[in-house]
Amino acid sequence: MLDRVAVIGDRDLVFPLKVMGIKVFSPKDIDEARRVLVSLEEEGIALCLMHESYFAPLSSERDALREKFTPVVAGFSDYRKVTDELGKMMREMAVKATGSDSLVKRRGNDETR
């Protein structure tokens, strides 16, 4: 059953699902995501979960697939946007409380979660 499910999203989000037998795709850009989405019907995929970052840019492709029985394409979001917003709120509260945000660790350019 899970071999008919695919997930399109960033590698750090979708790769763990591969151990469950779910097909995972982590396209480098929108064009590659478009090619993946078009190929899902040929691969016999019934359900495709697509990360929100690809959902809007691929709306015309999703609309074309909506006319067919499968694959059904549904969107999902992740924790990262919420985490970034919480970090911003914590910095603002630290500045209000202490006059500085030096107590709040910032994520560097080369750090990942």
10 occurs within a structural domain? yes
Greatest C-alpha distance within the chain: 59
Q: What is the pLDDT of residue 33?
A: 93
- Calpha distance 65→55 (Å, rounded): 13
57 occurs within a structural domain? yes
pLDDT in tens, 80-106: 666 676 777 777 777 777 887 776 666
* Token pair 């790769």: residue: 15
38 occurs within a structural domain? yes
30 occurs within a structural domain? yes
Against a cut of 0.75, is the pTM above it? no
The DSSP 8-state label assigned to residue 38 in this structure reads: H
15 occurs within a structural domain? yes
DSSP secondary structure of 61-101 = HHHHHHTSSS-EEEEE--SHHHHHHHHHHHHHHHHHHHS--
Number of domains in the chain: 1
CATH label of the domain that carries residue 48: 3.40.50.10580
Task: Quote the mean pLDDT of the chain.
Answer: 82
Q: How far is CA 18 from CA 15, 38, 65, 110, 111, in A?
A: 5, 20, 24, 26, 24
The residue range of the domain holding 42 is: 2-76
Q: What is the pLDDT of residue 113?
A: 47
The H or E element containing residue 14 is helix 11-14
Structure tokens that stand for 17 in this block = 């699902």
pLDDT in tens, 28-45: 999 999 999 989 888 889
Question: Span 64-75, mean pLDDT?
Answer: 84
